[in-house]
Amino acid sequence: MVQKVIRIGTRDSELSLWQAHTVQKKLIDLGYSTEIIAVKSQGDIILDKPLYELGITGIFTKTLDVAMINGQIDIAVHSMKDVPTALPIGMVQAAVLKRADEKDILVYKNNIDFLEANGTIATGSLRRQALWLNKYPNHTVVDLRGNVNTRMQKLKENNWDGAIFAAAGLERINLKPENFINLDWMISAPAQGAMVILAMQNDEFCKEAVAELNDLETDICTYIERQFLKTLEGGCTAPIGALATFGEDEILFKGVLLSIDGKQKIEIERTVPIQEWKKLGYNLGQEILNNGGVELMKNIKESLKK
């Protein structure tokens, strides 16, 4: 049987390439021919502006979206938390790989004494900023952009006390230092730690190939988290956290919406039977909106315009 070579599109950062090579290896093990095509994304190039100021929720995915629509690549591999909840027309989610560690970690410089005093923490994420300020209101949070390697380098060069990273990203490329603490109290970004593969809707060959890599449990949990995000209308532009996990025959969900300064926080926690998963993210998002979330989202959008 003559089969086509699956062209795997990826960003050219070390972490993105690691993710693409991981998918490539899995497809080769299944007997498919593959090729990796690295594309530079605007999100990696424009580092002097916070993400939300660029007015694009999918800044890291946009370049690959264009490459796929133009037929330069067949599938795209992404950190799922970077992917907007609404995909471009004609594109589908073809597989979600088994989730790695979903937690955020604090990488600190010298010691963690600053936690009890006045600290300066770096992050480019509104969610991490808001959750940090909610817990440590007397701290200062500064903006930190770039890929994982760039952010690690900036942490070394600046006089900040620490910076917040996704554990999975650092673990994947062996950058996780000894001086870190797990931020168990910080609700992670929807789909954090999961990798997703996108394909074109009409590409049956690639969809069929990639479907074999899908992890059902991760697929369901990230679906719930992203439904919650979509219901609250957050892209990269609002401090929203969500985490769904499987219990015995139930799903545990934690969600949060905060003001950018971290002073307001609306939380939700539920345990429901597994069969209720389909509407769970939507229903709990609605509950947050009805519980002061509509007003809070309005204020967030207003403050981001300024």
Q: Which residues are catalytic?
A: 82
Q: Is 12 helix (H, G, I), strand (E, B) or coil?
A: coil
Rounded to 5°, angle at Cα 111 from 108 and 113: 110
Rounded Cα–Cα distance for residues 244 and 247 (Å): 10
Contacts of 133 by beta carbon, 8 Å cutoff, 6+ apart: 139, 141, 261, 262, 263
User: How would you write 219-276 as a 3-class SS string?
Assistant: HHHHHHHHHHHHHHCCCCCCCEEEEEEECCCEEEEEEEEECCCCCCEEEEEEEEEHHH
**75: which strand partners?**
8, 199
Query: Token match 């594109």: residue?
Result: 91
Rounded Cα–Cα distance for residues 78 and 197 (Å): 7
